[in-house]
Amino acid sequence: MARPRGEINVVCQNPRCRYYLKVKGKDIIKSGRYRTGHQRYYCKHCKTCFMETEGTPLYRKRLSEDEIINICKHLVDKNWMRSIERITGHHRDTIGRLLEDMAEHAKNR
C-alpha cells in the first residue's frame, strides 16, 4: 500500500495547461530541487516542470531569499545603491535589476 501524498499548495504555472492556476483537479508532485535550493514541481497533466517561485520577483534569481529580503529592507530604509552595495557585498547592477523586477511586479499586481 502506498503512503498518502503530502499537501502541495502550488498550482500549475504553464499557461497552456487546462489546470493553469486552478486548485481543483490539479495533479502536481514534487520533483527534486534546483541548484538554488528551490523546490521543483511536476504537473502530470501537461508534463512540465516548474519552480515554486515562478511568477514572483524571486524567479531565476541566484541570490537566496534572505539576501533579497535584506536588500529590500535597505531599499525601504532609503539607503543609496552604493551604500547597499558596500553593506551586502552585491554589485550595484544586481541591486538595480532586483529593484526593477520588484517595481515591475508591483505595477502588474
Predicted confidence (pLDDT) per residue in 83-105, tens digit: 999 999 999 999 999 989 888 88
Q: Are strands 28-33 and 48-51 parallel, antiparallel or unpaired?
A: unpaired
Helix (H) or strand (E) holding 42: strand 39-43
Alpha carbons 55 and 62: distance in angstroms, whole number:
16
Q: Which sign, positive or negative, has the C-alpha torsion 90, 92, 98, 99?
A: positive
26-40, 48-62, 65-79: which is most confident: 65-79
Quick one: average pLDDT of 31-39?
Answer: 81
Residues 51-70: what's their mean pLDDT?
A: 82
Euclidean distance between CA atoms 12 and 19, whole angstroms:
6
Alpha carbons 55 and 87: distance in angstroms, whole number: 28
Query: What are phi and psi for residue 51, nearest 5 degrees?
Result: -95, 150
CB-CB contact of 90 with 71 (8 Å): yes
Per-residue confidence (pLDDT) for residue 5, from 0 to 100 = 65
CA gap 87, 92 in Å, rounded: 11
The structure's pTM equals 0.63
